[in-house]
Amino acid sequence: MAMQDFIRRKNIENLTKQLASGRLDEAQRDYAERRLAEELADERACSLTNARALEPVPDPAPC
């Protein structure tokens, strides 16, 4: 997972730089915006999954 997280962070960094540069045409900008949204959504999903994995398991309710 660590390698995927690293790649995701680098993708987000690179896409953000490309969008900030102002050098993309409309089609390139649209593509970069879509990819950035996907990478950010994946990052949020992984963060939520990891946070849930760290939560303690509740004790079963007494009968």
**Cα–Cα dist 50/47, whole Å:** 5
Residue 22 is classified by DSSP as T
What pLDDT shows up at residue 47?
A: 83
What tokens appear for 26 in the block? 């409309």
pLDDT digits (tens, 9 = 90+) for 21-62: 999 999 999 999 999 999 999 999 988 887 666 666 566 666
- Who wins on pLDDT, 59 or 6? 6
Contact 36, 16 (CB under 8 A): yes
